[in-house]
Chain A
Amino acid sequence: MTWSEIWPLLQEASVATAIMVGVSGLFAAVFGLLFGVLLVLTDRDGLFPLPILNKLLGGVVNVGRSLPFIILMIAIVPFTKLVTGGSSIGTEAMIVPLAVGAVPFYARLVETALREVDPGVVAAARAMGASGREIVWKVLLREARPGLLAGLTVTVIALVGYSAMAGTIGGGGLGDVAVQYGYERFETKVMISTVVLLVVVVQLIQMLGDWAARRLSHK
């Protein structure tokens, strides 16, 4: 293959990867944050101890975390079909398993980041008469911002990896190109360029994440 043939291929694949990672990353950010906060709040020593809900939530998150993505992706095909209205392949369909895989992943990272917040600060806020909502928004989430961002960076990078796997069952994107052209057709040039592209993308995401986390950290 010549570069003029490879180039549009890579461009299209990059867009597909960006869509898969972007949309599922957004889901992970919103729901991961929600579940992570719930995990911390409902803990035995949390602000609103609800041990049963906590165990349940923790269990769900653990199941999601313990399945290798390639298995999860296949196992939830019926659910994917339900969400997309029939299709279980293609870029849009792949967003479903990616989001399902990334939400519990990020939820645990959120939980860890929130636990890093100095309990003394929470106690001080309670002593000032702050409400639970104020403590969550103004203390926990605010103080944990650098950690939450670092976690999101890790999650998005994991999603880039997952999306490559999604490519193998027809998800499109850079992984798909690498497998179809690089692996099955022995197009070394394609293989190398997807690898280089992935490395560059991951580097850029990491750098952006680090930069943002550093800006928000005043420790």
Chain B
Amino acid sequence: MIQIEELRKVYRARGREVTAVDGVDLTVREGEVFGVLGRSGAGKSTLLRCVNLLERPDSGRVVVAGQDLMALRGGELRRARQGIGMIHQHFGLLSSRTVAGNVAFPLEVMGVPRAERAERVAELLDLVGLSDHADAYPAQISGGQKQRVGIARALAGRPKVLLSDEATSALDPETTASILELLRDLNRRLGLTILLITHEMDVVKRICDSAAIMREGRFVESGPVRELLLRPGSELARGLFPLPEPAVRPGTTVVDLTFEGDSADRPFVSSLARTYSIDVNILGGAVEEIGDTRVGRLRVELPGDPELNAAQLAHLRDAGLTVEVHGAAPAGPATDSGLEVAR
């Protein structure tokens, strides 16, 4: 639905060049929620603005719903944008128009006749649960309600694609949850493809099917969220289940176990302890609901050096777990724990 190839965007200001997006490839499948996670300044906002060409990329390809946007100019580009919804961190509502007037704006731009407009506005306000506030001005409603207006407005042209620019970053946690739920619901009911950018790990956890971590204009890792979580050394997994720097005592083996779905429901720790008659020490961990599955990460300590635990580790792998072994303290950590994911 969205295909981006080798996208580059460089800003030039007063002789200085800043590469905001540095060769990003991105594919968002139809009906998918794709999240780009990164700190501010990582280039994710520029990336998003390149998708509807609010910023024209310096090079690369941007194809949305089969249309090569870089080839379009003027009126053609404006028409293409009408088919791509966008919501914004600070909502971008017209303060001089009522809620209904704001939702009507894109319909006016599209040249929808007045009578039809009123009907469609009522429909859209109903969709986001704001029918009672049609005549209120943006200054009179809450942040969450403003974002609902933003969503209704973005959906006015029945877009296949919705771009979300930090849509929940200005909202409190409860409101964030309700907006994310609404987006998830729209994604499922309307088959809406969503590309969102965020600095909140929680957003990825709650609604994204796929995700990418962006740093200094590049994607550091990208793929389906479940796959990323199970991939050893994944930044997403470590960001979502933060565990401290492992302190490995001599003569022990410290292992991080990542599990999902069925394997999460099996008592693999007690099974390990019983099978090998060893004491398994749990050092830390967490379990989260990601989409429809349960995913968890657990750090355990086994007696004996890693070489002596080969059978035990194989047992864990056979149980369907992703196993990461931490080396002994002097040798330095086997995995790079210098995690830097904005949360």
A: residues with CB less than 8 A from B are: 118, 120-121, 123-131, 134, 138-139, 142-143, 145, 216, 218-219
Q: Is the CB of A218 within 8 A of B96?
A: yes
CB-nearest residue of chain A to B81: A129
Q: Is the CB of A138 within 8 A of B54?
A: no
Complex Cα distance A126/B163, Å? Answer: 14
Which residues of the partner chain A approach B93 to less than 8 Å between Cβ atoms?
A: 121, 124
Give the shortest distance, in Å, between A136 (CB) and chain B (any CB): 13
Give the shortest distance, in Å, between B172 (CB) and chain A (any CB): 20
| B106 sits at the interface (CB 8 A) | yes
Q: Is the CB of A128 within 8 A of B82?
A: yes
Q: Is the CB of A128 within 8 A of B81?
A: yes
Complex Cα distance A142/B106, Å? Answer: 16
Which residues of the partner chain A approach B79 to less than 8 Å between Cβ atoms?
A: 129
Question: Would A118 and B106 be within 8 Å (CB), given that A127-B86, A128-B82 are in contact?
Answer: no
Which residues B214-237 have CB closer than 8 A to chain A? none
Complex Cα distance A124/B110, Å? Answer: 15
Q: List 19 A-B contacts (CB under 8 A).
A: A120-B89, A120-B91, A124-B86, A124-B150, A124-B153, A125-B105, A127-B52, A127-B81, A128-B81, A128-B105, A128-B106, A128-B153, A129-B78, A130-B78, A138-B94, A138-B105, A142-B96, A143-B95, A216-B96
| B133 sits at the interface (CB 8 A) | no
Q: Is the CB of B88 within 8 A of A124?
A: yes
CB-nearest residue of chain B to A216: B96
CB-nearest residue of chain B to A145: B96
| B109 sits at the interface (CB 8 A) | yes
Complex Cα distance A127/B28, Å? Answer: 19
CB-nearest residue of chain A to B75: A131
Interface size for B (C-beta < 8 A) is 33
Q: Is the CB of A118 within 8 A of B78?
A: no
Give the shortest distance, in Å, between B32 (CB) and chain A (any CB): 21
Residue of B90, B91, B96, B109 near A128 (CB, 8 A) is B109
**1/0 per residue B43-83: CB within 8 Å of A?**
00000000010100000000000000000000101111110
Q: Is the CB of B54 within 8 A of A121?
A: no
Give the shortest distance, in Å, between B89 (CB) and chain A (any CB): 8
Complex Cα distance A124/B82, Å? Answer: 11
Given A123-B92, A126-B81, A127-B86, 20 extra CB contacts under 8 A: A118-B90, A118-B95, A120-B89, A120-B90, A121-B92, A121-B93, A124-B86, A127-B52, A127-B84, A128-B81, A128-B105, A129-B77, A129-B78, A131-B109, A134-B109, A142-B96, A142-B97, A143-B96, A218-B96, A218-B137
**1/0 per residue B17-55: CB within 8 Å of A?**
000000000000000000000000000000000001010
Give the shortest distance, in Å, between B188 (CB) and chain A (any CB): 24
Which residues of the partner chain A approach B91 to less than 8 Å between Cβ atoms?
A: 120
Q: Is the CB of A123 within 8 A of B54?
A: yes
Which residues of the partner chain A approach B106 to less than 8 Å between Cβ atoms?
A: 128-129
Complex Cα distance A96/B95, Å? Answer: 37
Complex Cα distance A143/B97, Å? Answer: 9
Q: Is the CB of B94 within 8 A of A142?
A: yes
Give the shortest distance, in Å, between A1 (CB) and chain B (any CB): 51
Q: Which 3 A-B pairs have the closest CB atoms?
A: A124-B92, A129-B81, A129-B82
